[in-house]
Amino acid sequence: MDISSTAGAERIDRRRSPAGSLAADLAGRSAVSWGAVAAGAAAAASLSLILLILGVGLGLSSVSPWAREGANAATIGLSTILWLSLTQVLASAMGGYLAGRLRARWTEAPADEVYFRDTAHGFLAWAVASLATAALLGSVIASILGGGVQAGASMAATGTASAAVAGSAAGAQGPAPMGYFVDALFRPMAANAEQAASASAVSAQAQASDKDTAEVGRIFMNVSRAQPLPAEDIRYIGQLVAQRTGLSQQDSEKRVNDVYSRVQAKLNDAEVAVREAADKARKASAYSALWLFVSLLVGAFVASLAATFGGRLRDA
């Protein structure tokens, strides 16, 4: 038998064999069309950036610094989650479809291998786009969001400045937020006009110096909120109150206890408010991370599915 005829027959059998065709196809070229993957990833990253800019614009237009105007926090949070999910689905679908449609045609590979490769191309396009978006998140997207962050910071700074102006007079009489309570402590109590005039004269003489009011503020702030005011401090402050208001020592001490209870309640309410705000921020961060994780998983699935659809159209 001719040796050349035998070799030709073996090559024919190899081309007819599915295993031989697959092996020859894998050995002849790479199974990944990186050009198609890069094109799909670029399209997905660009569409994500465009949709993100649109979402920021819509979000800033729906909020307002004025009370009872604009969307509330719950609505904004839900809208943000839905918009991020929609952005991930649309961008991933676009990137996966382009990666599957633009990849090289595999005429020798069986159907299941083509399906796997299309799925892998869609997943790779989503992965590259996600990494590119994460890399740009610290530069381009941060600069886009900077305007909104600065606007929110300006609103917060305005509110802080207003609070500081409102409390500046109290700060002159005692450590904030004690100014109002110290004023209430030394407020004269009069049953008629004559007593009011007499108490006002006594108060005017006593208020020539702010030493007493500042001292009372320091005493109130020195005691822990979980402890009662010491008896010697009650007696001492009661003497100051009696000198200022003309009340008896017993009534002055009762006023001291009442005002101190109000101070404790106010400080406790402020602490609870701060803890609640911190807990809400923690929960919001946790929910955002979880929903972002879910949206990324959905994006990976959509990209892979769209790539198989684009690959079928390419081979049709």
Domain contains 243 = yes
Q: pTM of the entire structure? A: 0.59
> Measuring CA to CA, how many Å separate 64 from each of 55, 80, 149, 152, 161?
16, 16, 14, 10, 19
With tokens 């207003």, the residue in question is 162
Domain contains 260 = yes
Token pair in block for residue 235:
């007696």
Domain containing residue 70: 11-165+294-315
The tens digit of pLDDT for each residue in 286-311 reads: 887 788 889 889 999 999 999 999 98
140 and 38 inside one domain:
yes
3-class SS of residue 66: coil
pLDDT value of position 158: 42
62 and 173 inside one domain:
no
pLDDT value of position 313: 86
User: Residues 6 or more apart from 155 whose CB is under 8 A from it?
Assistant: 65
124 and 227 inside one domain:
no
Residue 280 contacts residue 70 (beta carbons within 8 Å): no
> One digit per residue, pLDDT tens: the chain, 316 residues?
444 444 444 444 444 444 444 444 444 567 888 899 999 999 999 998 898 888 888 877 776 666 666 667 677 778 888 888 899 999 999 999 999 988 887 777 788 888 898 999 999 999 999 888 888 766 545 554 455 445 444 444 444 444 433 333 344 344 456 677 777 777 776 544 455 455 555 554 445 346 777 778 788 777 666 678 888 888 888 888 888 777 888 888 888 888 888 888 888 888 888 888 888 878 877 887 788 889 889 999 999 999 999 988 888 7
The tens digit of pLDDT for each residue in 13-58 reads: 444 444 444 444 444 567 888 899 999 999 999 998 898 888 888 8
54 and 79 inside one domain:
yes
259 and 173 inside one domain:
yes
Domain contains 257 = yes
Domain contains 160 = yes
38 and 66 inside one domain:
yes
> In the 8-state DSSP scheme, what is residue 247?
-
Domain contains 96 = yes
Domain contains 55 = yes
Domain count, the chain: 2
CA 203 centroid distance within chain: 51
243 and 135 inside one domain:
no
The 10 Å Cβ neighbour count of residue 96 is: 36
Token pair in block for residue 75:
């609505």
Helices 231-245 and 211-222: angle between axes, nearest 10 degrees: 150
